[in-house]
Amino acid sequence: MTVHAMRRPRIKPEHRAYRTVEGHVRIGSVVHGIGAEVQDADGWIWTLVQAMDGTRDVADVVAVVSRRHPELRLPDPDIAQAMTDLTDAGFVEDAGAEPPAELSERERERYSRGMTLLRWMDLSPRSSAWEPQLLLRRASVLLIGVGGTGSAAARDLVASGVGHLHCVEPDVVELSNLNRQTLYREQDLGRPKLDAALTALRALNPDTQVTGERREVRGPADLEDLLRVGAGAGTDSTGGPYGTDGPYGTGATGDGDGTGDGDGTGDRGATADTRASGYDVLLLAADRPAEIRRWANRVCLATGTPWAEAGYRGPLVGVGVFTPGRGACWQCLRDAEVERRDLRLGPGQDEDAASPRMPWNPANAVTAGLSGGLLAHAALMLLCGVPPVEPGCRFGLNLMMPGDPVMQRSQRRPDCPSCAVRPDPARAASGVAGPAPGARPGSGDQGPS
């Protein structure tokens, strides 16, 4: 979207400019990563941003700047170029753009606050401020695990207006789940989590299609099958071909909340034409079996599917975001972290002594909610490009030290056993049947770092 194609360009309300004591122009708010400062020795940039108030077309804005600064003899193309630069930086929207017909008046009211947040974080020129919301509405997401992290992520995505969410979960609601899995109620005890989740999510937003199946993921072939089935053929626990038990029965027991052991965008990555998947994004919120992240990484590489995984380890909460062909894959990030770590283990000590794993998940509604919120946020990044964070990274929070940066990024590794030779999506079936040569069994369960 160029500024010349806009009917009435204006600085986004959230990016309103102000002048500094030096006379320069700051624009884009005071949020780090958005705001910018423009030198303005002659004062005409300030006039420009003031004139871009949504009441004028490009020619009229240029005329205002020229008229107020005749002594500068500014060429019209230079003024127009400054408008282009501001537009390319993501500070400008078209106040004259018509509301998208695809969104009803009711939907525009429902998502009006979310649209303004996306507009604030969006640094891409758009034909309409509603475009990211439309991308979300058209999206289809596969969610593995509807426990602590997964139920919070599902709630946030459905409330935010994702078009279709397909949930996969084998477990039943237990009393110990209820301190953190806020999608469920005491009357749901003993009920399949999937059934309770579908009921709650459909009530939350009837405009979102929510489907699911009670199914356990036991290997990469299961993930591949789920992705291949795709959005158009999602099964439903209340009426799908598997009924409420799924083809694998009830599966695992316990919390199965997809959190305690997880380890560790800009564009949406592969398009529907190149993906061997019916879903736009896979979200992994399950921690069983231990190799499930490695499986997801290989399957998503093979199918060209962007994906994210989230979890918590005590007070550490994190999310990893990955797009095949862009940046490091999960395995690259994992191996880089293993190389960086120096636990200074004494003789006879192993990693489990430094990072013990327990049969329960130390968690509450806060850590689970933060983890699920970050996973939903990652989905927005992958689906809408807002905010424009490059994939191939893991980020999060350390609740013990809120100012402690939790960010992990690595270069794509040329010797990576998973992505160094990227499988052909058209041959996904043969490319994900087993572990990659050189893969280390059991190394896929590292917690957020």
Q: The domain spanning residue 208 has which CATH number?
A: 3.40.50.720
Residue 106 in any domain: the answer is no
- CA separation, residue 145 to residues 15, 40, 157, 283 (Å): 38, 53, 14, 9
Same domain? For 154 and 269 the reply is yes
Residue 210 in any domain: the answer is yes
pLDDT of res. 405: 82
Same domain? For 306 and 213 the reply is yes
pLDDT of res. 265: 34
Residue ranges of the chain whose pLDDT lies below 70: 230-276, 353-354, 356, 421-449
Same domain? For 57 and 153 the reply is no
pLDDT of res. 229: 80
Q: Could you write out the three-class secondary structure of the chain?
A: CCHHHCCCEEECHHHCCEECCCCCEEECCCCCCCCEEECCCCCHHHHHHHHCECCCCHHHHHHHHHHHCHHHCCCHHHHHHHHHHHHHCCCEEECCCCCCCCCCHHHHHHCHHHHHHHHHHCCCCCCCCCHHHHHHHCCEEEEECCCHHHHHHHHHHHHHCCCEEEEECCCECCHHHCCCCCCCCHHHCCCEHHHHHHHHHHHHCCCCEEEEECCCCCCHHHHHHHHHHCHHHCCCCCCCCCCCCCCCCCCCCCCCCCCCCCCCCCCCCCCCCCCCCCCCEEEECCCCCCCHHHHHHHHHHHHCCCEEEEEEECCEEEEEEEECCECCCHHHHHHHHHHHCCCCCCCCCCHHHHCCCCCCCCCCHHHHHHHHHHHHHHHHHHHHCCCCCCCCEEEEEECCCCCCCEEEECCCCCCCCCCCCCCCHHHHHHHCCCCCCCCCCCCCCCCCC
Residue 246 in any domain: the answer is yes
Same domain? For 32 and 156 the reply is no
pLDDT of res. 359: 76
pLDDT of res. 437: 31
Same domain? For 87 and 188 the reply is no
Same domain? For 87 and 198 the reply is no
pLDDT of res. 206: 96
Same domain? For 83 and 169 the reply is no
CA distance 45 to 408: 38
- What length is written for the chain? 449
Same domain? For 50 and 146 the reply is no
Domain extent for 200: 138-431
Residue 443 in any domain: the answer is no
Please count the structural domains in the chain.
2
Same domain? For 161 and 298 the reply is yes
- CA separation, residue 400 to residues 82, 261, 313, 375, 406 (Å): 45, 18, 12, 21, 12
Q: Which CATH number fits the domain that encloses residue 48?
A: 3.90.930.60
Residue 180 in any domain: the answer is yes
CA distance 297 to 324: 9
Same domain? For 344 and 211 the reply is yes
Q: Which two tokens stand for residue 435?
A: 């572990």
Same domain? For 17 and 80 the reply is yes
pTM of the model: 0.84
